[in-house]
Amino acid sequence: MKIKQIFLTMTLLATLMGGALQTPANAAAPHKPRIAVMDFDYGTVRTYSEAIFGSDIDIGKGICDLLVNDLVKDGTYSIIERKALDKIMAEQNFSNSDRADATSAAKIGKLLGVDAILVGSITQFGSETKKTNLGGGGGTWGGYGIGGIGHSKSKSTVGISARLISVDTGEILAVAEGKGESSRSSTSLLGGGGSWRGFGGGNADFGSSDFQNTIIGESTKIAVDQLTLNVVAGAPKIATHTVTVEGLVAAVDGDQIVLNVGGKAGIKVGDQLDVVRVTKEIKDPTTGNVIRRLTTTVGVVKATDVDDASTVCTPVSGSGFQSGDRVRTAAQ
């Protein structure tokens, strides 16, 4: 009998301890660090890139797009939309030569309202090429590029580095590197399983499966995946800024919902705000002051254009938005 009581007591204690260790369902989730990712500088490898593609392709943008996709899938960071970044850079006359400059990047990041900004450089982009028809049995190792004369086998290597910059101080918070080498060799870095032609107008689609099946695409993907892991590891070093935003719907014009708060209140392009409607005000019977407002949820809107004093939003969910509705969000 005593053994049974002891067993029941131990079972009850284990259940209570297990419940105490569980995270409450309504516990607030930690804020994600909000970052922007600049196109990578590729000036030191431009000659090798031109030899591979036959023209000047912005491989820095291609690398950036791949990295952003990886970071979004990982979920550690909140990534600023490309459109918002491009708009600020255009307004600030930001040039390609500024891509790796920490001071310029911090200025852009502060205007975007992010916690940190990531800048990077492509340090290696090409191959060592072994000529099989020059000389005796061993062959000769050449430089970067796709070969040149004779028959050759190329293995591709891509190296990239990045820095996370504080927008408040310009300090380098973390550094990250990635290096990838193709597991195969081919007579062309654009060969080896892909028939990629995804470049035009100076830009490149590095996310396509055709490109990633090529020799250069394989090593690029490996390098970016490795870089992503190292960038994610730097997240704890970023101080996040929590801003509470409150305002009103000033006007509704079709799918455009205009708020009476903007950048000065802390709203940034891409932020989502809850929209509620006051159904009743409860007043203190002694003072007559409003002590509580009862509300009903109208929906969620997303900021698409922000100036200092106003914000244009589009609906994410809900309908029937009206002037006077209240908006509120905790912007990261």
Backbone angles phi, psi at 140, to 5 degrees: -130, 135
Give the pLDDT band of residue 324 (cuts 50, 70, 90).
very high
> What is the 3-state secondary structure of 267-327?
CCCCCEEEEEEEEEEEECCCCCCEEEEEEEEEEEEEEEEECCCCEEEEEEEECCCCCCCEE
CATH architecture of 34-237: 3-Layer(aba) Sandwich (3.40)
- Residues 187-213 as b/e (b if ≥16 CB within 10 A, e otherwise) read eebbbbebebebbeeeebbbeeeebbb
Lowest mean pLDDT among 3-7, 165-169, 223-227, 279-283: 3-7
Instruction: Reply yes or no on domain 243-331 having CATH 3.40.50.620.
Output: no
Question: What is the DSSP-derived secondary structure letter of residue 61?
Answer: H
Tokens matching residue 34: 């909000």
Query: So what's the pLDDT on residue 93?
Result: 81
pLDDT in tens, 27-37: 444 578 889 99
Task: For CATH 2.40.10.410, list the domain ranges present in the chain.
Answer: 243-331
In the chain, residues under CATH classification 3.40.50.10610 are 34-237
Confidence (pLDDT) at 144:
39
- The β-bridge relationship of strands 78-79 and 34-37 is parallel
pLDDT band at 133 (very low <50, low <70, confident <90, very high): very low
Integer angstrom CA distances of residue 176 from 123, 129, 229:
13, 28, 9
Q: What is the CA radius of gyration of the chain?
A: 27
> Cβ neighbours of residue 150 under 8 Å, at least 6 residues apart?
131, 132, 133, 134
Residue 151 has pLDDT above 90, yes or no: no
The mean pLDDT value for 262-270 works out to 80
Instruction: State how far the Cα of 271 lies from the Cα of 331, in Å rounded to an integer.
Output: 6
Tokens in use for 65? 């797009």
